[in-house]
Structure 1
Amino acid sequence: MSVRGSLLKGPLGFGAAPLGNMFRNIPDAEAEATVDAAWQQGGRYFDTAPFYGAGLSEIRLGRALAKHNRNDYVLSTKVGRLILDEVETGKRDFGEKSGLFEFGRPNRVVYDYSADGTLRSIDDSLKRLGVERIDFVWIHDVSRDFHGDQWLHFFEIARTGAFRALTKLREQGVIKGWGLGVNSVEPCELTLDMTETQPDGFLLAGRYTLLDHERALQRLMPAAAAKKVDIVIGGPYSSGVLVGGAHFEYQKAPPEILAKVERIRAVAQRYSVPIKAAALQFSLAHPAAAAVIPGASRPERIAEDHAALAFVIPGDFWRELREQKLVAAQAPLPIDR
């Protein structure tokens, strides 16, 4: 079953990274209310990961979804990191995500892309989520962003370990599909070129957004569309900087990014277009995009996201973005359909 075929109830999903206390210490009640709001608005696709708060996101998401029938929603999580019982006492180094979950659980987190590590990770996630099955599994952060020049070494471990283990689980009907969950296009392109195993999709975070999409357009997006490998778009607001936040790529946004955001914002204001609407609808306009999963930790944000997706954006807005070269010339836009 394809990713797209499993998400027919709507292209707007819920990214549960904030439930792991991303950037701030979120009360349990607020986290649960946010998931409840997503459900009430019709959201039926939920994505999480062991890394988010060292298991905290999975625990909270599982508790909130326990009140619903498991057959009524699609669930994905990730492998590549194991959450240990021991407490981490030293400084954590997670590349660009270092410090992102400083308010999460203190458990030690280790990388493991092997077949055994993949199976153990899934088993641990099932327990934290309190469910009997997971629909889609993404191999998490097997990229240069987190492993530097050693990323190909880790990718090779995943290729002979996680790739094969997940392919077997798919063949056995244990999961519906698998792919990579990354913040860069390079490992996705490499995976698409392989012949021994084929992914069902990718969760691409931050690389096909209104603010940052040129690299993905060069090869990944058209190649994925041609091979019918679906892309789930994560981080459509570019870590929040597109919608008034201070972060881009999980760090403080640099001046050149803030300047581009202001140019986009100026065009949006002229046409009375909410930035969220432009961001979500841009990401979904590409034929390869199957769903978009903005994160949220406040219930009111959910209604904003759904309203943004339904907002009718005038064609002249998109044309001006293209004329001002604020979007790539080859980027598909809603007016092109």
Structure 2
Amino acid sequence: MGKLFKDKLGFGTAPLGNMFRNIPEEEVMATLNTAWEQGIRYFDTAPFYGAGLAETRLGRMLANHHRDEYVLSTKIGRVISDELEDPITRDLGEKGGLFEFGNKNKMIVDYSADGTLRSIEQSLKRLNTDRLDIVYIHDIAQDFYGDEWLIHFETARKGAFKALTKLKEEGVIKGWGLGVNRVEPIEITLELGEAKPDISLLAGRYTLLDHEKALQRLMPNALKEGMEVVVGGPYSSGILAGGNHFEYQKASPEIIAKVEKIKSLTNRYGISIKAAALQFSLANPAVAAAIPGASKPDRIVEDKAALNEKIPTEFWEEMRKEHLVAEDAPLA
């Protein structure tokens, strides 16, 4: 699967679903075009991002390029209805309100085999393409569904897992896996051994601010089972890139204090905190790519520069000494 990615830097389109703000169309297109100009050829999206808005916007940009030039992934788990509702009150679990400026379409949770195929069919139309490379099963985790997440997981195990495995075997898609913000669903999938995910997207759980659990448990199993990992949210919702969000909410004083400690070291060594965050996430041998999100063109340029920035070994040694990274974490 790693051969799919020409570069370890991809682009996550969640912000383009109008996450947190109403983003003008021209700004969206400028951001996507800049990503292409910067050589990014892996684009990840999902119906959840603005109830189809991010997919539609991405599809408009990709229509200008030959399908064989890029790798495309989207997600299943939510089927978009023609019925409308208020996005502010739309029931989206703990992450409700993320896309209050997105489309008003109602989203129906559905991890069944039929729902999987319907979601893919809808995504293909919004993306204006004839095929997907990777399909992730989206958000079957406690952060979205509370204690009922295992019910959705079981539905996906009996439905989406089998449907996507069949599509892979038929050559319709090149790979599938989970797209989640928690390590547990991926771990359980690997432990069950009933299905063989090729690649999974883990958002926010392998970053400078949160990596212990994934490092100790998930990454070794992923390597053992031959499942590659794409790191989503390497900047922890923006707090590691100059923003003030962590875990999609305003960062706590404790998180802000930890970020300030990291910044003091990056400043001392004359490097950007973005470079430290991005290169840390990519250093683990199980990680095939990282997909920061962005809604402004200059952020894309910063990401590309962060990927190529030279970080002194001494910096990482001091990060270990200050207990800002795990003792056994692979470092860039």
Per-residue CA shift, 1:95-148, capped at 9, x if unaligned?
Answer: 332111010001001110000000000000000000000000000000000111
* TM superposition shift of 1:19: 0.8
Preserved CA contact (<8 Å) 1:49 1:78:
yes
Preserved CA contact (<8 Å) 1:19 1:297:
yes
Unaligned runs of 5+ in 1: none
Q: Which residue of 2 aligns with 1:290?
A: 288
Q: Which residue of 2 aligns with 1:219?
A: 217
Preserved CA contact (<8 Å) 2:89 2:97:
no
Q: Which residue of 1 aligns with 2:34?
A: 37
Report SS of the residue matched to 2:303. Answer: helix
Per-residue CA shift, 1:295-322, capped at 9, x if unaligned?
Answer: 0111111111000100000010000000
Question: In the TM superposition, what are the counterparts of 1:165-184 in structure 2 within 5 Å?
Answer: 165-184=163-182
Q: Which residue of 1 aligns with 2:52?
A: 55
C-alpha separation between the residues in 2 aligned to 1:326 and 1:237? 15
Per-residue CA shift, 1:55-93, capped at 9, x if unaligned?
Answer: 000000000110000010000000001111110147123
After TM superposition, the runs of 4+ consecutive aligned structure 1 residues lying more than 4 A away are none
Report SS of the residue matched to 1:104. Answer: coil
Preserved CA contact (<8 Å) 1:200 1:229:
yes
Preserved CA contact (<8 Å) 1:44 1:72:
yes
C-alpha separation between the residues in 2 aligned to 1:222 and 1:51? 30
Question: In the TM superposition, what are the counterparts of 1:42-191 in structure 2 within 5 Å?
Answer: 42-89=39-86, 91-191=89-189
CA RMSD of aligned residues (A): 0.9
Q: Which residue of 2 aligns with 1:261?
A: 259
Per-residue CA shift, 1:187-234, capped at 9, x if unaligned?
Answer: 010011122211001100000001110111121011101222100000
Preserved CA contact (<8 Å) 1:113 1:161:
yes
Unaligned runs of 5+ in 2: none
Q: Which residue type is aligned with residue 214 of structure 1?
A: E
Q: Which residue of 1 aligns with 2:206?
A: 208
Q: TM-score, normalised by structure 2?
A: 0.98
C-alpha separation between the residues in 2 aligned to 1:96 and 1:266? 33
C-alpha separation between the residues in 1 aligned to 2:90 and 2:257? 32
Report SS of the residue matched to 2:154. Answer: helix
Q: Which residue of 2 aligns with 1:237?
A: 235
C-alpha separation between the residues in 1 aligned to 2:265 and 2:91? 39
Identity %: 66
* TM superposition shift of 1:243: 1.6
* TM superposition shift of 1:326: 0.2
C-alpha separation between the residues in 2 aligned to 1:226 and 1:114? 28
Report SS of the residue matched to 2:192. Answer: coil
C-alpha separation between the residues in 2 aligned to 1:70 and 1:177? 17
